[in-house]
Chains A and B, each alone.
Chain A
């Protein structure tokens, strides 16, 4: 690994890693909290505050950080700061694009995809360990939802059976507590697991820049800033993703929500225990689907689910494409200036996506609105154009169509 002593370049990489950390929290709030918000066990703002706090605590809970990225997937010898930066850009852009369309997708897969793309651009096909990529990323993306659907549906079926003749308000009252408990566990596990990825990246960058010795532990400011970035992202809440998970797949009640979140927590923790890590996002989505499968007469919107599965399959190639492009741009401009240009482009693209999202804001105020088939992801773009027709706006001025001011 080449030694980089340029402090400004180091700052750019650290900032980008924190930005990824932020999108990670932002994108994954729904995994833990979508069901609690949908069943009104928690108010939307309470839910994201709880999740953010637990992510913050989780980041401090365990500090077994290893400075490895995409271990066993990309040849460790070609991981330079430029590759890391391009990989982060790929991860961030994919996270933002999927958020824009309200699709839950794995943040770690996005990061791996970005790094794979950058590695391909840097070293060609020999830089990527293809069987590792298939075994650790692509196949688990197919397996995780199936496992979670199985566990979630069995749990839901049992719960429904045992409580079939319990008065509904009693069920709701008690299961809401169960729901909050299990969702908290998912948030905590997320904070511990995912904040460490960014800590590992920053540690790697610091070592590469000779800012800390090679056997250094994680400096406290890194732990703190990663924990804060993720908690802040979680608090802002990826409302679009929350809406899809909570309202788009299954109409949830608190018994299903509790079964789904417990299933998620169990599968996530067990899978890492047995060394077969599954993505939190894939597991959480599968569990929610399972809670629809397990309830007799519940409608599961498989078309929405199918679109998610497609997104998961293209996560790695799509993030890789962005990562490779970022690396290419970096090399094209050359030197440290290349990294600055990449960073500037990232900022511009992120801002553009954010602007686009403002055309049809989803926030805590409308996250639980009825799910209409017309607001399926493909039609969001078309609808947002219609929404901005000023005449339509005046006609619908006092109706639901009026885009309210988002208060975050």
Chain B
């Protein structure tokens, strides 16, 4: 079978696919949880600054990854 399947390339696709394709949604979910999960709102009903910072850091990382992907497409790397 090895002549028909490029195992090396396929392995990399699976590995990085899991890292990016599953990791980014997970990161986004962590952001959502920090912002709206249990305990997110203090006694005054406001989300604390610290939680906001963490949440927007998560969203920011996801947005950066998307922008990186757009740059990658534009650079003809596909």
Contacts and interface: CB of A to CB of B under 8 A. Distances in A.
B13 A165 contact: no
| Number of chain B interface residues as a range | 35 or more
B50 interface: no
A163 B29 contact: yes
Interface in A266-317: 266-267, 269-276, 278
A218 to B, nearest CB: 13
Contacts of A155: 21-26
Contacts of B49: none
B78 to A, nearest CB: 5
Listed residue (A154, A167, A178) with the most chain B CB atoms within 10 angstroms of its CB = A178
Majority SS of interface residues in chain A? helix
Contact of A158 (B12, B26, B66): B26
B28 A151 contact: no
A266 B24 contact: yes
B5 interface: yes
Contacts, number: 150
Interface in A144-199: 147, 150-152, 154-156, 158-159, 161-163, 165-167, 170-171, 174-175, 178, 181-182, 185, 188-189, 192-193
A188 B70 contact: yes
A185 B72 contact: no
Which of B17, B36, B77 lies at the interface centre, i.e. has the most chain A CB atoms within 10 A of its CB? Answer: B17
A186 B70 CA distance: 10
A185 B70 contact: yes
B4 A265 contact: no
Interface string B54-75: 0000000011001001101111
B76 interface: yes
A171 B32 contact: yes
Nearest to A192: B73
A15 interface: no
A139 B5 CA distance: 7
B26 A266 contact: no
Contact of A150 (B4, B16, B18, B69): B18
A181 B65 CA distance: 11
Contacts of B26: 155, 158-159, 162
Contact of A262 (B24, B35, B75): B24
A273 B77 CA distance: 7
A396 interface: no
A397 interface: no
Nearest to A63: B76
Given A58-B73, A267-B17, A165 B66 contact: no
A123 interface: no
Nearest to B37: A166
A270 B25 contact: no
A165 B38 contact: yes
B43 interface: no
A189 B73 contact: yes
A267 B32 contact: no
A238 to B, nearest CB: 23
Candidate in B29, B30, B32, B69 with the most chain A CB atoms within 10 angstroms: B29
A139 B23 CA distance: 27
A64 interface: yes
A135 B5 contact: yes
A263 B29 contact: no
B53 interface: no
18 contacts: A62-B74, A62-B75, A62-B78, A151-B14, A152-B21, A158-B29, A163-B33, A170-B36, A181-B66, A185-B69, A192-B78, A263-B22, A263-B25, A264-B21, A266-B24, A271-B17, A273-B77, A274-B9
